[in-house]
Chain A
């Protein structure tokens, strides 16, 4: 595999400088489960590989009054081991845990999943419904961007050349609010999602749905939000009629393609099914929270 240089800086500033020096021919290496596969297959060529796993900020998961600060290179397995995060954001954590096998979990990161910008990325729908924000560092300094704005198309991000996604920020969820993520794969594990659905449900004091957010993966070039979900579900009971309307709205929100992992027709159909099921799980979880 051809990479003429490898560097492992220990600060964000150094990493940014290294990438700037490579004039667009450098790549960030976090877990490598996307980058190395694509380099080996010849789909990506990189003159410089910048390994960010020795940058403490990018490999640390912390929590304070403002919520969770997740280093973009923290591996999925480490995320899942954080009890606080798993309790607060079960949907995000279960989504990350679905990114590949146990071996991939030992490497794959939220940052990599976001920046690889696969339409089928498991990490993205739940970050969208969570309202996650990302800290991006570059030659011009640092900025924050909504997680939903990182991917702009298959393999394309809104990051400019030389920018690095450094951290993912998640607030503490309000009470009586929970999320969930489901996906459809032909096998029980190991597959790229044919459809992914994240749902987040807020309940009022009487346990009725007060707000909802649903986002779908693998049914468009980037994540598709089901904007009608809130209008359909808020203020009412999650009865069969509402859920059927939600499923319909989810199907309408898709813009899928036929590819070797699924047909557009199948994806559309299943998007409705998973939107409904994920919403029910989020609802059940929200009810358990006071």
Chain B
């Protein structure tokens, strides 16, 4: 029997039908067309499917779609507002913090969650927070720099 789910995604009301065992990641991508959230492993070990669920950073591959009922979901597609990129997105571009880019949506969402809680992380704090996001291309150096610089920018500091 399918569940009817009403939820909010990136500020917009959304609804869908899903099987009880369907995963939120698959519904986001295959039913709602939000392909920005990626599947890298399906077991919560790579963070490519990172989303915010009621403000909490989670892996969408480990959430049942039915759990989204009444929840507030934020994906990478919701980071830019009114045609303006989020400072994190801008810094990732300026600092060449992406190469193939497939891990980038997950990192952006995870980094946003970090800065929501801790606007002034140290390099070590940023690295440990982002340890759940695998990147195979960059060695993390430029990603961490971009996150720290975006944080500074968001604090109003010029760097």
Contacts and interface: CB of A to CB of B under 8 A. Distances in A.
A188 interface: yes
19 contacts: A1-B21, A3-B20, A5-B1, A6-B3, A6-B21, A8-B67, A32-B62, A37-B44, A37-B62, A49-B21, A51-B66, A53-B67, A101-B133, A102-B113, A103-B44, A103-B57, A104-B59, A104-B62, A106-B53
Interface of A: 1-6, 8, 29, 31-33, 36-37, 39-41, 49, 51, 53, 75, 77, 100-107, 188-190
Interface stretch (B85-93, B96-104, B123-131, B144-152): B123-131
Contacts of B58: 103, 106-107
B28 to A, nearest CB: 15
Contacts of A1: 21-23
A37 B59 contact: no
Contacts of A31: 62
A227 to B, nearest CB: 34
A53 B53 CA distance: 13
A272 B158 CA distance: 49
Contacts of B1: 4-5
B66 A107 contact: no
Interface in B48-72: 50, 53, 56-59, 61-64, 66-67, 69
A8 B50 contact: no
Given A5-B1, A104-B59, A190 B131 contact: yes
B43 interface: yes
Contact of A49 (B53, B56, B61, B64): B64
B59 to A, nearest CB: 4
B143 interface: no
A194 B13 CA distance: 45
Contacts of B67: 8, 32, 51, 53
Contacts of A104: 44, 59, 62, 132
Nearest to A5: B20
A106 B66 contact: no
A100 B132 contact: yes
Contact of A106 (B23, B42, B56, B64): B56
A4 B66 CA distance: 12
Nearest to A107: B58
A104 B59 CA distance: 7
A41 B66 CA distance: 20
Contacts of B3: 6
A103 B128 CA distance: 12
B110 interface: yes
A22 to B, nearest CB: 13
A190 B69 CA distance: 29
Contact of B42 (A40, A49, A189): A40
B44 A49 contact: no
Given A49-B64, A102-B113, 14 more contacts: A1-B22, A3-B21, A6-B21, A32-B63, A49-B21, A51-B66, A53-B67, A100-B44, A101-B44, A101-B131, A102-B129, A104-B59, A106-B53, A189-B128
A190 B132 contact: yes
A107 B57 CA distance: 9
A102 B69 contact: no
A106 B130 CA distance: 13
B47 interface: yes
